[in-house]
Amino acid sequence: MAKDQSYYFSHDVTASSDPKIVAMISEYGMIAYAWWWIILEKLASYEDYKLPLKRYTFLALDNELGVKNKENLTCVEHVFKQNEHVFEQNELCSMCSFLFVNSLISDYELLACDDEYFWSPSLTRRLEFRKVKNEELREKRRLAGIKSGEARRKNEQKRTRVQQKGTRVQQNELIKEKKIKENNIERDTRAREDENPLSMFEDDEVKNKPIYDLYMKSIGDISPVIKERLDDLVESYGKERVIVAINTTSDNGGNSIKYVETVTAGNLKKEVQKDFGTNKRNSSNRGSSRKDEQVDWQAEYERVHGKK
């Protein structure tokens, strides 16, 4: 069977007016027109649109054409009687379809043949033309499919870019909103600190807030670093000494945490020196008093020897 099997082929509406067809019909009758198209249908369904010149081909054709023997050809009996003498010369000549095909080749030039096959040149041209057109159509569809695929890919890429752009816009909006919130929080925090500078230390222990308040009232603004250094002073020297140091710093015109630290350390040193001086004087007084004291030697002798 033909690889590109066709389910139809073109048929001229004026085929019956072709002189060759007219001559065929005039000799064999209108039945020959039906035989002709049956043979073309068989040719169109085979490889290269050809049928082999074999016995089985004409046995099948006899069956298809309804002419299994000469007795079935009463309508064209005179034609086959004219060729009856050739039936004995060739085995194929005993088949009515062979005689008909041979007539189409030799007498009417509707078919062509070689030593192996017979075919219809007109049918072959039409089917080859149709095959080329089908191939061109398939190629156009293939190219259209490629073009359509490229268009889909471009559209998909465009959608992806739009989505990515939308995502970036959304991300930028989120970042912008986050920054606005952070700025608002920072602004609100600064506003609260301006109203109450000690608000930054609301989470600290209550016991040190008086120190912060005194520092701000007596010396100046307080920062987290100054707060930490004040905490260290309170822990190292005690709250009372730090309060004294802040007041001393303020009285002396000092305006830094460093001054407060220096005063605190200096006050502690003074306290130590004072205590040391007092103890020394007390020790000296005890020594001198004992030196000036008159020893009762008689009493000491009696005490040692147990005499009263």
pLDDT digits (tens, 9 = 90+) for 174-220: 888 888 888 777 776 666 555 555 555 554 455 788 898 899 998 98
Kindly report which listed range (93-102, 115-124, 150-159) carries the lowest average pLDDT score.
93-102
| Lookup: tokens for 42 | 């068989």
Q: Is residue 144, in this structure, part of any structural domain at all?
A: no
**Which residue, of 119, 134, 166, is where some domain finishes?**
119
* Number of domains observed in the structure of the chain: 2
| 204 dihedral zone (left: phi>0; alpha: psi -120 to 50; beta) | beta
Q: Is residue 98, in this structure, part of any structural domain at all?
A: yes
Q: Is residue 173, in this structure, part of any structural domain at all?
A: no
Q: How confident is the model at residue 307 (pLDDT cuts 50, 70, 90)?
A: very low
How big is the chain by its Cα radius of gyration, in Å?
Answer: 65
**Which residue, of 119, 149, 167, is where some domain finishes?**
119
Terminal Cα-to-Cα distance of the chain (whole angstroms) = 162
Q: Is residue 23, in this structure, part of any structural domain at all?
A: yes
| Lookup: tokens for 116 | 């192996």
Q: Is residue 180, in this structure, part of any structural domain at all?
A: no
Q: Is residue 135, in this structure, part of any structural domain at all?
A: no
Q: Is residue 251, in this structure, part of any structural domain at all?
A: yes
Average model confidence (pLDDT) for the chain? 77
| Lookup: tokens for 263 | 């005063």
Q: Is residue 272, in this structure, part of any structural domain at all?
A: yes
**Which residue, of 119, 147, 176, is where some domain finishes?**
119
pLDDT digit string (tens) for 62-108?
A: 888 887 655 545 444 555 555 444 444 445 555 788 888 999 999 99
Burial of 43 by CB count in 10 Å (0-12 exposed, 13-18 middle, 19+ buried)?
Answer: buried
Q: Which domain holds residue 82?
A: 15-119
Q: How confident is the model at residue 121 (pLDDT cuts 50, 70, 90)?
A: very high
